[in-house]
Amino acid sequence: TYGSLAQGSGNGITAFNSNGFTIGSSYNGTENSNGEDTVSWTFRKQPKFFDVVAYSGTQDGDKTISHSLNTTVGMAIIKRYDTNGYDWHVYHRSTGVNKYLLLNTTSAAATGSIVTGTSNTTITLSQSNGFNTSGASYLVYLFAHNNDDGGFGEPEDQDIIKCGTYAGNGNDARTIDLGFEAQWVLLKRHDGATDWWVLDNMRGLHARQISSNYLEWNTYNAEASSGQIFADSQGFMVDAGDYNSSGENYIYMAIRRGGMQTPTAGTDVFDIDVTSSQAIDSNNPPPTNPFVVDMNIYKNRNEASTAFVTQARLIGPNYLQTSAGDAEGSGYTTWDQMDGWGISNSSWESAANYVFYNWKRARGYFDVVTYTGTGSARTVAHNLGVVPEMMWVKCRSETQDWVIYHKDMDSSAPEDYGSYLNDTTGRVDSANFWNDTAPTSSVFTVGTAAKSNGSSKTYVAYLFASVEGVSKLGGYTGNGSSQTIDCGFQPRFIMTKKAINGNGGFLVFDSVRGIPAGNDPYLLIYTTDAENSGADTIDLTSTGFTVNDNNTNANTDGYIFYAIA
């Protein structure tokens, strides 16, 4: 924002490109210093989201300039940039045209009309307060406020940016409801002194009970962490503290998490990586991925004493084991990679043969939700955009089984049943899991079971759905011989579980480890067992897969499956 192009240093941001920007060797040790971690936030000029306008002062009264937001101005940041000594002035719709804030200080909103008026197409700056000085150069950054009029995503009716206010109440676990999950949040108390905090999901805007990382826009301070602000499926969450004190008032700007379009290719949202005799450490980072990863499952496939581990961006460095009901453990993972995920420990695991399965969140395909249980039946909001066809729910804060919902657990009322990810139990008929209530395209329901809704316990839920040509969830009855399951595509990844009128755990197959015409290497997600390849269990077809033996096709037994192209 200091404008290296105008200054002609050649060492800061040297170019804006169609796919990003270019940085030089570094201006005053900022953008590209050797070995230092740097964050950038890139805003696209887009109606109903963001615009930036430069203008020159004319000293002929208040200055009205045009913008392309085509909607309400939610927040504007104004800076005179042709000389030193001028503050960053902030207009926010919640404090109105008679107040302003300074981005470079902690000060409360001051009385004064920096902005004297706004419309869907213009903003007017005050001459009397120094924003139309003859010959002076100014920049205005304009952020929209969507109010059920954003028009983004699929089906082009979604909001993606909100600029609002809330009054602190001193209570923990308070959700600031935006109608969407925020990936980026800017916060400031406007009736008293606080820093400007900015949080985002690349550096760690985490689920409750895991500290989130923040930077202060008004200081030079390095990143710090706080246990007061968290991600939430419907906005963001604040606990009592600096940004939710009773009797104090706050402004925010929040931007929606991506993944608002239904994927058209499995490779855009799912990736498989395999390593051979490799340690995962600072010299050997995890394999890169073609997208930002939101959840992964991995295992040392040749060792019988290591579990499948699952990690997610929302739960930060922590992990859960799919073969155990253990509470969340503390791991070594970072989620600040644009091409996958990373490590935060110099010695993560010893040399081993790993398999990694990586998911990206996307509309109609996959979502991750965290919530706090109440002990009473309740609904939990999600952003999948369609009805979930499979859900895995796990208590993070104490030992409990993983609970599974699957649309083919029963032909008429699958919501009456649950099963477990971490053992071979078949379906269990209990209202305590889902309160005998089917999920919808916006919420799922949990009952009174401690496994899915214990009072004050924290949970994570993974939600899956079928997308034509990308993923498929279904069920079938075994015939004891061989049968073909139609997916509409050739899978790269297949999970099957005997769950209807028999007991069995999920078997995992993938095309990278191999699904040959003969014996197939498979892993058991519910055990720590090493890879097994002693039977011709499954074969691929051009439009699905064939099941061949009692592992996947026992006569009259009912199975559920999940496949990804």
Q: What confidence tens digit (pLDDT) does each residue in 231-286 have?
A: 999 999 999 999 999 999 999 999 999 999 999 999 999 999 998 887 777 777 88
Q: Is the dihedral of CA 491, 495, 500, 503 positive or negative?
A: positive
**pLDDT of res. 31:** 73
Is residue 94 within 8 A of residue 190, CB to CB? The reply is yes
Those residues whose C-beta lies under 8 Å from the C-beta of residue 260, and which sit 6 or more positions away, are 152, 153, 154, 158, 160, 363, 385
* Nearest C-alpha neighbor of 136 from the set 51, 50, 52, 63: 63
- 24 pLDDT band (50/70/90 cuts)? confident
Backbone CA torsion sign across 531, 333, 231, 295? negative
Residue 8 in this model has a pLDDT that exceeds 60: no
Question: Cα separation of 501 and 349, whole Å?
Answer: 39
For 511-534, what is the mean pLDDT? 95
Q: Is 90 exceeded by the pLDDT of residue 34?
A: no
User: Which range, of 178-192, 310-324, 335-349, averages the lowest pLDDT?
Assistant: 335-349
Please report the pLDDT score of residue 7 as a whole number: 42
pLDDT in tens, 193-205: 999 999 999 999 9
Contact 21/115 with Cβ under 8 angstroms?
no
Query: Is residue 171 helix, strand or coil?
Result: coil
User: pLDDT confidence of 27, banded at 50, 70, 90?
Assistant: low
Q: What local confidence, expressed as pLDDT, does residue 14 receive? A: 84
Q: How far is CA 14 from CA 1, 33, 322, 471, in A?
A: 12, 15, 47, 42
CA distance from start to end of the chain: 43
> If you average pLDDT over residues 44-55, what whole number do you get?
98
* pLDDT mean across residues, the chain: 94
pLDDT band of 349, cuts 50, 70, 90: low
Question: Which of 125, 124, 123, 97 minimizes the C-alpha distance to 111?
Answer: 97
* Amino acid occupying residue 296: N
Predicted confidence at residue 97, as pLDDT, reads 96
Does the pLDDT at position 5 exceed 60?
no
The type of residue at 122 is T
Mean pLDDT, residues 437-457: 97
Residue 96 has pLDDT above 70, yes or no: yes
Average pLDDT over residues 524-537: 94
Mean pLDDT across the stretch 328-334? 86
155 vs 327: CA distance, rounded Å: 38
Give the whole-number percent of the chain exceeding pLDDT 70.
96
User: What's the pLDDT tens digit per position in 9-22?
Assistant: 557 788 889 889 88
Query: How confident is the model at residue 1, as a pLDDT?
Result: 54
Instruction: Give 147-157 pLDDT, tens digit per residue.
Output: 999 999 999 99
What pLDDT is attached to residue 29? 57
Residue 333's pLDDT is 86
Strand ranges, E, within 223-281: 224-226, 229-232, 235-238, 249-256, 270-274, 278-281
Specify whether the CB–CB gap between 421 and 428 falls below 8 A.
no
Enumerate the β-bridge partners of residue 562. Answer: 473, 495
**Identity of the amino acid at 30:** T
Whether residue 490 is predicted with pLDDT greater than 60 in this model: the reply is yes
- Residue 2: its pLDDT value, please? 43
* Per-residue pLDDT, 348: 63
CA angle 464, 470, 476 (to 5 degrees): 65
b/e sequence 374-409, b meaning 16+ C-beta within 10 Å? eeebeebbbbbbbebbbbbbbbbbeebbbbbbbbbb
